[in-house]
């Protein structure tokens, strides 16, 4: 076995280049015969003086022999990859035979090598096929290698979230996804991983449209609610080449980094309809019209968004008077969190919509005939405890600071000058603004020496406000016909959107972003959105069988099943290589059964390496 270099002249420009092959010579009845085992390609860069060492190590692996010499990490990695390709290629040339195959083997010679994870990949690939995403990508012009790269990138984001660099390493060295789709990811260089991100982004609208319509048809859900919200994420670097990277208020407390903002529109079942990336410092209210108008573009299916049916649900950050006016003018019904400070709640007129050990929620419905709206004042015992605890904490701190200031008026070395005392009180009001607004503070002055002599403070909580009615919040809606329970439950669907953002950030590697170019930043986020489509379809189906685990928990449960190659020496000196998946654990089998999947991902591959007379 040796490596042969062949010189080839290009038909395009006439330039010469080299291609490399692994060749084996063997003696036959007709003499010495040479045949190519595998093509090593044109990018083979191992120094020529190391070729014999690599060839020898490959021969040892496929023959089931141990090496008695120290092998470098580079040689071992190449040898393992090429040996696996040889075994796979020889298996492909043989017809499948399901008959029992009994052999005499040396048990002590048994070896297991090249473990690759397949469980999470198996589930993710099934969702990829279930939503017919591969068919859509083919229709969009993706060729074989591009489709494989897109599959690897998306499933990599689901199973091992990270950058394109990390995904590239995972596909080549950790995952068995290539075996499940019959593609060798060692053929893909890192540059192609970045290019496939660009290609997916270029077809963003068509992909999002296809996925949502597939989900709608497969799961037969009714399109009655549209949820809209934004989040932002940070990325590393100066962002000079990223037009969207702006500094703003970070929801992850990373305002020291450039930010980008992701807007999502979901239906009531949690399936994304559309996504868009905005500048990091974008004003939340200004994005609503752009997103909804975008859903009605002519190049998108008219089935995607029906304003006559869908109700817009938003939180207070987006529910400005201008946005509500725009929704009314365009006949969009809505349920939003009111920005108004006025609060009221009459417990005698309220209806219980939720009651359990943790929380009781009561709502009072009031018709606002002047604005043709329903105002729903909601009181949550859990929210009341939280808000009261926050208010008490700031109140105690404020009163303690004012009391300390007052007691210092009669101590040596403390602040006494009237103007300075007023200035200090002003700073305390600024520091504890939530508590200070409820207090009236009076400072008495000694006209002779200009010192403050006494500080008096009294609490005066404003009536019919958030502070006087902790735990009460107000919803506004145009749905006059809905009852209290329906309105409240519809609003609580916004928590599903918050769960989506948490999943995108913590489970799907959306943060931080390391790219510096606008399209690469947007592409990285879009891959996470595609991955979420697949994950949500998996969890949606699992929930129907009673499995309510988060995706991160599902990944933990699926971890542990691998594909391995078992090598055995036979009595006749042949070597048998069997590559198959390990048997799943019960926790994995439960998930497979719920999704109707095979318990052994991939085919069982059996290859016999016969003893041959090798020509040195």
**Token pair recorded at residue 122:** 């198996």
- Say which range, 105-119, 316-330, 406-420, has the weakest mean pLDDT: 316-330
Give pLDDT tens digits for 588-598: 999 999 999 99
The residue to which tokens 């403050």 are assigned: 452
Is 0.75 surpassed by the pTM of this model?
A: no
Note whether 190 and 165 are within 8 A (CB).
yes
Give pLDDT tens digits for 284-302: 666 777 767 665 553 344 4
Enumerate residues 6+ apart whose C-beta is below 8 A from 161: 507, 508, 509, 528
- Round to whole Å and give the CA distance between 535 and 553: 12
pLDDT-derived band at 154 (thresholds 50, 70, 90) equals very high
Q: Name the more confident of 534 and 44.
A: 534
Which of 62-76, 90-104, 139-153 holds the top average pLDDT? 139-153
Residue 390: name the closest of 435, 341, 345 by CA: 435
Beta bridge partners of 544: none
| The predicted structure's pLDDT at residue 438 | 84
Rg for the chain (alpha carbons), in Å?
33
- Round to whole Å and give the CA distance between 482 and 489: 11
CA of 497: how far to CAs of 111, 313, 507, in Å?
49, 10, 15
Give pLDDT tens digits for 159-201: 998 888 889 999 999 999 999 999 999 888 889 999 999 999 9
CA of 312: how far to CAs of 320, 321, 337, 576, 607, in Å?
13, 14, 11, 63, 59
Residue 194: name the closest of 534, 524, 529, 528 by CA: 524
CA atoms within 13 A on the CB side of 178: 23
Note whether 594 and 558 are within 8 A (CB).
no
CA atoms within 13 A on the CB side of 599: 10
Segment 405-413 mean pLDDT = 88
Segment 137-148 mean pLDDT = 95
| The predicted structure's pLDDT at residue 468 | 76
H or E, element range at 39: strand 31-41
Q: Name the more confident of 127 and 3.
A: 127
Q: Is the pLDDT of residue 96 over 60?
A: no
Q: Name the more confident of 446 and 30.
A: 446
Question: What letter does residue 417 receive in the DSSP assignment?
Answer: B
Instruction: For strands 439-445 and 373-380, give the pairing.
Output: unpaired
Judged on CB neighbours under 10 Å (0-12, 13-18, 19+), 217 is exposed
| The predicted structure's pLDDT at residue 301 | 44
Give pLDDT tens digits for 560-591: 999 999 999 998 888 888 999 999 999 999 99
Instruction: For strands 334-337 and 311-314, give the pairing.
Output: parallel
- Round to whole Å and give the CA distance between 497 and 249: 20
Q: Is the pLDDT of residue 486 over 90?
A: no
| The predicted structure's pLDDT at residue 497 | 63
The vertex-359 CA angle with 357 and 360, nearest 5°, equals 110
H or E, element range at 217: helix 204-219
- Say which range, 88-92, 158-162, 309-313, 551-555, has the weakest mean pLDDT: 88-92
Segment 439-467 mean pLDDT = 84
Q: Is the pLDDT of residue 390 over 90?
A: no
Segment 215-219 mean pLDDT = 87
**Token pair recorded at residue 415:** 């602040």
- Say which range, 247-251, 302-306, 606-610, has the weakest mean pLDDT: 302-306
Q: Is the pLDDT of residue 464 over 80?
A: no
- Round to whole Å and give the CA distance between 151 and 489: 37
Mean pLDDT of the chain: 83
């Amino acid at each position: 076995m040796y490596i042969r270099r062949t010189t080839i002249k290009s038909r395009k420009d006439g330039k010469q280049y080299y291609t490399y092959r692994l060749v084996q010579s063997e003696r036959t009845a007709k003499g010495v015969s040479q045949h190519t085992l595998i093509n090593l390609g044109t990018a083979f860069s191992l120094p020529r003086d190391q070729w014999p060492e690599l060839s020898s190590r490959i021969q040892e692996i496929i023959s089931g022999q141990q090496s008695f010499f120290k092998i470098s990490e580079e040689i071992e990695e190449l040898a393992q990859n090429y040996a696996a390709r040889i075994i796979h290629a020889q298996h492909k040339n043989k017809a499948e035979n399901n008959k029992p195959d009994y052999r005499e083997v040396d048990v002590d010679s048994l070896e297991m090598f090249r473990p690759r994870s397949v469980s999470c990949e198996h589930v993710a690939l099934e969702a990829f096929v279930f939503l017919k995403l591969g068919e859509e990508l083919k229709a969009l012009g993706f060729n074989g290698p591009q489709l494989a790269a897109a599959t690897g990138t998306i499933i990599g984001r689901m199973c091992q979230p990270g950058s394109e660099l990390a995904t590239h390493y995972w596909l080549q060295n950790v995952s068995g996804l290539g075996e499940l789709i019959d593609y060798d990811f060692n053929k893909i260089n890192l540059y192609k991983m970045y290019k496939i991100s660009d290609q997916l982004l270029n077809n963003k609208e068509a992909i999002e449209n296809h996925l949502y319509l597939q989900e709608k048809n497969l799961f037969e859900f009714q399109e009655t609610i549209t949820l809209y919200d934004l989040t932002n994420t940070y990325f590393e670097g100066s962002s000079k080449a990223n037009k969207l990277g702006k500094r703003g208020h970070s929801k992850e407390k990373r305002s020291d980094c450039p930010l980008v903002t992701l807007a999502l529109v979901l239906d009531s079942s949690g399936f994304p309809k559309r996504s868009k990336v905005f500048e990091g410092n974008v004003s939340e209210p200004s994005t609503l019209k752009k997103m909804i108008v975008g859903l009605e573009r002519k190049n998108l299916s008219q089935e995607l968004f029906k304003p006559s049916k869908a109700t817009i649900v938003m939180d207070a950050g987006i529910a400005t008077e201008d946005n509500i006016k725009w929704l009314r003018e365009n006949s969009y019904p809505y349920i939003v969190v009111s920005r108004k400070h006025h609060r009221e709640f009459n417990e005698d007129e309220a209806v219980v919509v939720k009651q359990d050990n943790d929380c009781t929620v009561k709502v009072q419905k009031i018709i606002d005939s002047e604005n043709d709206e329903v105002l729903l004042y909601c009181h949550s015992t859990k929210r009341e405890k939280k808000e009261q605890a926050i208010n008490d904490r700031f109140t105690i701190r404020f009163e303690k600071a004012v009391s300390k200031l007052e007691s210092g008026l009669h101590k040596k070395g403390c602040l006494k000058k009237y103007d300075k005392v007023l200035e200090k009180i002003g700073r305390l009001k600024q520091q504890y603004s939530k508590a200070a607004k409820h207090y009236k503070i009076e400072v008495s002055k000694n006209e002779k020496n200009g010192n403050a002599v006494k500080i008096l403070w009294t609490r005066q909580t404003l009536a019919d406000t958030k502070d006087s009615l902790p735990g009460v919040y107000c919803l506004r809606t145009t749905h006059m016909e809905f009852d209290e329970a329906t309105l409240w439950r519809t609003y609580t669907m916004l928590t599903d959107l918050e769960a989506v953002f948490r999943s995108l950030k913590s489970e799907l590697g959306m943060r931080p972003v390391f790219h510096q170019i606008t399209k690469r930043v947007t592409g990285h986020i879009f891959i996470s959105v595609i991955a979420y489509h697949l994950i949500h379809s998996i969890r949606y189906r699992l929930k129907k069988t009673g499995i309510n685990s988060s995706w991160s928990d599902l990944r933990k449960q699926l971890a542990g099943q691998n594909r391995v190659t078992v090598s055995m020496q036979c009595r006749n000196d042949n070597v048998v290589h069997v590559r198959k998946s390990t048997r799943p654990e019960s926790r994995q089998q439960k998930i497979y059964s719920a999704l109707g999947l095979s318990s052994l991902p991939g085919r069982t591959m059996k290859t016999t390496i016969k003893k041959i007379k090798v020509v040195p």
